[in-house]
Structure 1
Amino acid sequence: MSLDQPAARQSDHPVAPQFLQRWSPRSFTDRALSEAEVMSLLEAARWAPSASNHQPWRFVWARRGEAVFEALHACLTGNNLTWAGKGAALVVVASKDTVTNREGAEVANRTAGFDTGAAWMSLALQAQTMGLFAHAMGGFDREKLAAAVRLPEGHTLHCVVAVGEQGPAEALPEDLAAREKPSSRKPVAEIAMHGRF
């Protein structure tokens, strides 16, 4: 089995190897995850930075073989339906939209999505340290997924993450196998400006 590795990725400036090695493959092996392994992923997400320590992120998870895994998988759309069912676990990432202010009123949490993105990255990097990969997907039926996880009012769905051990590209349909390699990124000069846009 030949697994594509992100060795060809090159940074423009020095960074820790974990940032170049993290990517989102679609092919997974049959390796199962224990509940303890899933808890390690969620524990890492728990410690993400959070504005005013509100911690708005919320997760619903299931392991392959569980009925709820099948229910979550059925909410995916497009090519995600083809490959994500091989993941060892699916994790739904959502956030609580409001916070309780000092006066005791529920008000909009402007940084909920930002903070939840940090929690997702913590989960992805923890997966990497465990020899796993995490692939976040935005392709899902929002109404169907909200019903499947019984999403409370005042919460927003962000993505579904497939987690597992990387499998061979050859296990994917031909069109997806051709895309099964780490992608590059825009140069820093294109995304960061000194002082102003």
Structure 2
Amino acid sequence: MEKPAKTQFPIHDLLMRRWSPRAFDERPVESHTLRSLFEAARWAPSSNNEQPWRFIMASKHDHDTQWKRLFDCLAEGNRRWAFRAPVLMLSIASINFEDDGTPNRHAFHDTGLAVENLVLQATAHGLVVHQMAGFDVEKARAELSIPSGFEPVAMIAIGYPGDPAVLPERLRERELRPRSRRPIGESTFVGHWGNPIG
């Protein structure tokens, strides 16, 4: 299933096709394809070329125990659909600069850029990606042995698109609902806050 964005202005096809479904096909994602996603993430821009992102991933088919450990960190609402995702991942940000230990206030921003690179590369491979805020941060920190100075950011499901019919009714309705975004002028201003771009 595809749900291309209905844009106000032309954008690249990858951006138009990218969306975050909950229906996943359970077939495995090839290891070379996953490495391509992480290579795309590796080349994201970052403040001072710090590259603060880290990822912990597991494929259900190759690392079942580790996949289950990631899955167990999810909030109940996300478990209802993410159990079909063949790959789960946690994005993590290094919150201090390596050279002097001062706080890197751009770490989350830069980690998000790396994830977006990964998401767009996934889209180019015919995969779908769903990022989740709904997970137990402290459980993830403990269960995945994340050291101090690193902050869990988002859980991420990766796989091939599935049939929305596999979802519970409420989630299936959300899956089939048209996509929407606020108009550009509500979030982009000229010169000062509240002066919408024309």
TM-score by length of 2: 0.92
Partner of 1:94: 92
Contact map agreement 2:29 2:160 (CA 8 A) in 1: no
Contact map agreement 1:64 1:85 (CA 8 A) in 2: no
- Structure 1 runs of 4+ aligned residues shifted over 2 Å read none
TM-score by length of 1: 0.93
Give matches, 1:1-197, under 5 Å: 3=1, 5-7=2-4, 9-65=5-61, 66-101=64-99, 105-181=100-176, 183-197=179-193
Equivalent pairs, count: 190
How far off is 1:52 after superposition? 0.9
* Aligned residue type for 2:28: A
For 1:31-75, what per-residue CA distance to the aligned partner results, in whole angstroms no more than 9, with x for missing partners?
101222221111111111111100000000000141000110011
**How large is the Cα RMSD of the aligned pairs?**
1.2
Secondary structure of the structure 2 residue equivalent to 1:165? strand
User: Share of identical aligned residues, percent?
Assistant: 37
How far off is 1:100 after superposition? 3.2
Structure 1 regions of 5+ residues with no counterpart?
none
Secondary structure of the structure 2 residue equivalent to 1:39? helix
How far off is 1:162 after superposition? 0.2
CA distance in 2, matches of 1:137, 1:37: 22
